[in-house]
Amino acid sequence: MPKRKAVTVRNHRAKKLLLQEQSCPVCSVYFFIGLFAIIALFFSAVILVEKYVANAGVITAVCSAVGSSAGCVTVQHSTYGTLFNIDNPVYGIIGFTALAALAFWTQGTQNVWTRRLTILGGIIAGLFAGWFLYVQAFLLHTYCVYCVVVDTISIGLLIAAVFLWISRK
């Protein structure tokens, strides 16, 4: 009989934690991952638009609103600006959209695979961000302001993903 009671108590605690997470969806780390992924998605779109609008000569570069656009042009038109002839911001748009969808879908569910995919997405985003920051700092010796914003957010996603992985949530 004591074993049965211990299992009931454990199940009761798990249900209580799940109810707390569902009653406060903003408190979830997954909510913050989704929110930051949407912000990174926005800035990835800004980078892509800026690249093609600046090429067309229609308006001045979006980066020039913050500082010199020379760094943005240098970074975006370098050999590191594309992968398989596809602009890096396109990968960002796809990846951050998928990560945001997974994070919001995962929030409050018990599906292990969506949680694992969300954690994996955050880790991948952070690893790519580390590479892009390295390229800007040590290979190109110049920075794109919005690229640094996206990379910083991605490092935050990496930290959140590692936290979830360690805490097994």
Q: How much is the pLDDT for 111? A: 80
Q: Which residue has the tokens 């794109």?
A: 144
Q: How far is CA 55 from CA 16, 61, 145, in A?
A: 55, 9, 18
Q: How far is CA 10 from CA 14, 17, 122, 124, 149, in A?
A: 6, 11, 30, 34, 43
Would you tell me how many other CB atoms lie within 10 Å of the CB of residue 123?
17
Closest listed residue to residue 80, CA positions, set 93, 67, 89: 89
Domains and CATH numbers, the chain: 27-167 (1.20.1440.130)
pTM of the model: 0.76
Q: Report the pLDDT averaged over residues 148-165.
A: 93
Nearest-angstrom CA–CA distance, 70 and 91: 23
Which tens digit of pLDDT belongs to each residue from 103-147? 988 876 778 888 889 999 999 999 999 999 999 989 988 888 888
Q: Which amino acid is located at 140 in the chain? A: L
Closest listed residue to residue 165, CA positions, set 123, 110, 129: 123
Q: How much is the pLDDT for 8? A: 46
Nearest-angstrom CA–CA distance, 131 and 122: 14
